[in-house]
């Protein structure tokens, strides 16, 4: 069984984050976990055009406005039988979330995804994109759509995507633990990468070799029970993943995130980020396990 004892749910009170709160509440109930609700107020930066603004008063005013809503969310959780607390902090959103993960011993971060204007996204990316690279625990991103999905352990279909890179084993183990609890059917999908113009990237193995590697990823206690199937496709990875999800409607997509070589990233971009943007179901992103480096003597 996958251990989930502490959930962190950052909310900005947007519809997307409130859907994430609802999902995190289900998880907390299902796993008898504690729920930590976090709201971050970004610091106000004075410029030559607004130097006359009293930033202290402005931040205090913002906090006064959001406090009743954050207390309301905590009350909803407590009334639902969940051990919950809430806090409002001021600072850089990514930094405050990472600090809250450490402070609360969070096992999973549950958050909503947000759209941004194209120019802003191109310049600075999104909070979610930045967190994917920095948060040391799994992040569960809830889609913007209104489609309802079952929360574990009540899921029926799970899609695990793998590029067989470092961290894949961790993602598969996490997903299979959730699947075992739910008795969910699982598809382990690998996409042989091609660029948008149909050029296959180098260093690929044969389909037979890939199938053998996929089978080795399956835990022994999950082999032969008919609940897990492997699938190999070819194309632009994020497009193939989204096409499969659209056709098969999984309750959850699980994928690991890792660094990429400059050449591959230039051609394909980050598949995790693009899947998150396009998926209509929750996406669980598993970071690679941090291994301690040996000290040089």
Report the CATH number at residue 260: 3.40.50.620
Residues 216 and 247 in one domain: yes
Phi and psi at 125, nearest 5°, equal: 70, -165
Among the candidates 142, 168, 198, a domain finishes at 142
Helices marked H in 11-117 — which ranges? 15-31, 55-79, 93-104
Among the candidates 117, 142, 167, a domain finishes at 142
- Residues forming beta bridges with residue 191, ordered by sequence position: 233
Q: Range with the lowest mean pLDDT among 90-99, 112-121, 208-217, 277-286?
A: 112-121
Domain that includes residue 168, residue range: 157-286
Q: What is the pLDDT of residues 174-222, one digit of tens each?
A: 888 888 888 899 999 998 887 555 555 555 567 778 888 888 877 776 6
| Strands (DSSP E) found in the chain | 6-10, 34-41, 84-90, 108-112, 139-142, 157-161, 185-193, 228-235, 252-256, 283-286
Cα 251 to Cα 57: distance, rounded to the nearest angstrom = 45
Closest CA to 102 of 174, 8, 2, 4: 8
Residue 274 pLDDT: 84
Residues 117 and 189 in one domain: no
Residues 166 and 279 in one domain: yes
Among the candidates 97, 115, 142, a domain finishes at 142
Higher pLDDT, 46 or 106: 106
Most confident of 120-124, 145-149, 228-232, 271-275: 228-232
Q: Is the peptide bond before 153 cis (omega within 30 degrees of 0)?
A: yes
73-90 CB burial, b ≥16 within 10 A, e <16 = bbeebeeeebebebebee
Residues 97 and 20 in one domain: yes
Residue 37 pLDDT: 97
pLDDT band at 292 (very low <50, low <70, confident <90, very high): very low
Residues 100 and 11 in one domain: yes
Cα 133 to Cα 139: distance, rounded to the nearest angstrom = 11
């Amino acid at each position: 069984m996958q251990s989930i004892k502490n959930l962190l749910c950052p909310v900005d009170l947007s519809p997307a984050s409130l859907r994430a709160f609802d999902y995190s509440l289900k998880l907390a109930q299902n796993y008898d976990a504690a729920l930590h609700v976090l709201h971050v107020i970004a610091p106000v930066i004075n410029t030559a055009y607004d130097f006359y603004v009293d930033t202290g008063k402005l931040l205090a005013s913002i906090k006064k406005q959001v406090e009743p809503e954050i207390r309301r969310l905590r009350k909803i959780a407590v009334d639902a039988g969940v051990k919950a607390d809430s806090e409002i902090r001021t600072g850089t959103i990514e930094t405050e979330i990472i600090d809250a993960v450490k402070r609360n011993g969070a096992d999973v971060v549950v958050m909503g995804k947000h759209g941004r204007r194209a120019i802003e996204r191109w310049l600075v990316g999104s909070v979610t994109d930045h967190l994917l690279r920095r948060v040391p625990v799994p992040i569960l991103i809830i889609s913007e759509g209104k489609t309802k999905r079952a929360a574990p352990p009540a899921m029926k279909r799970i899609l695990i995507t793998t590029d067989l890179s470092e961290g894949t084993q961790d993602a598969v183990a996490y997903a299979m633990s959730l699947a075992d609890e739910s008795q969910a059917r699982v598809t382990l999908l690998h996409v042989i990468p091609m660029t948008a113009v149909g050029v296959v990237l180098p260093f690929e193995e044969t389909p037979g070799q890939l199938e053998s590697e996929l089978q080795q990823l399956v835990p022994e206690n999950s082999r032969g029970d008919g609940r897990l199937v492997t699938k190999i496709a070819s194309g632009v990875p994020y497009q193939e993943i989204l096409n499969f999800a659209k056709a098969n409607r999984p309750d959850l997509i699980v994928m690991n995130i890792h660094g990429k070589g400059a050449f591959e990233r230039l051609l394909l971009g980050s598949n995790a980020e693009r899947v998150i943007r396009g998926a209509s179901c929750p996406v669980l992103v598993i970071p690679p396990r941090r291994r301690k480096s040996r000290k040089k003597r």
